Amino acid sequence: MFKLSEIKELIKLVDQTTVQELEIENEGSRLLIRKPGKTELVNVQTAPIQQTFHPAPTAHIAAGPAADAAQAQGQANDAPAKAEQASNLHKIVSPMVGTFYQAPSPDASPYVKIGDKVKEKSVVCIIEAMKLMNELEAEVKGEIVDILVEDGQLVEFGQPLFLVKTE
């Protein structure tokens, strides 16, 4: 069963992110938090569930038809190269909704930088959720080629955080 304080904290986390819906199962109880507009719907049931993730739509801003055409042409040229590159890379994704931190403290150096080598048990970042600091490990051996989020940014469940060229 979920505690009222845990439910309130989860509602607050969902409200602060672009997550539209969050489902969690704990000891046979199911919690569904859905954000239709500015109100939250909380539904607690006892039933098995599957995890779902519904990302918020992203905005597209353009400077007119010429910019749209140039952008479309650039995307068409880059698409095969990016697809090939992405297929060779492992994505380290967020296992939860929370706040992404690159370092153990504000004055410390980041766990990893672009170009750093990592092993399966290498800590790459911290995700803070419900005032708990959760260390995230690389889970693969390779080289960090991209960091996809900023320090202090709210992240969603399943959101890619790092790209790793595996060895």
Task: Encode the chain (167 residues) as per-residue pLDDT tens digits.
Answer: 677 777 777 788 777 777 777 778 777 777 777 776 544 444 454 444 444 455 555 444 444 555 555 555 555 555 554 544 556 799 999 999 999 999 999 999 999 999 999 999 999 999 999 889 999 999 999 999 999 999 999 999 999 999 999 98
- Residue 152 pLDDT: 94
Q: What distance in Å separates the CA atoms of residue 165 and residue 115, rounded to the nearest whole number?
A: 10
pTM: 0.51
- Residue 71 pLDDT: 53
- Residue 128 pLDDT: 94
Name the residue with tokens 């092993």: 119
Q: Confirm if 120 and 139 have CB atoms less than 8 A apart.
A: yes
- Residue 40 pLDDT: 41
* β-pairing verdict for 41-45 and 29-34: antiparallel
User: Quick check: helix, strand or coil at residue 120?
Assistant: coil
How many other CB atoms sit within 10 Å of the CB of residue 159? 21
Q: What distance in Å separates the CA atoms of residue 125 and residue 103, rounded to the nearest whole number?
A: 6
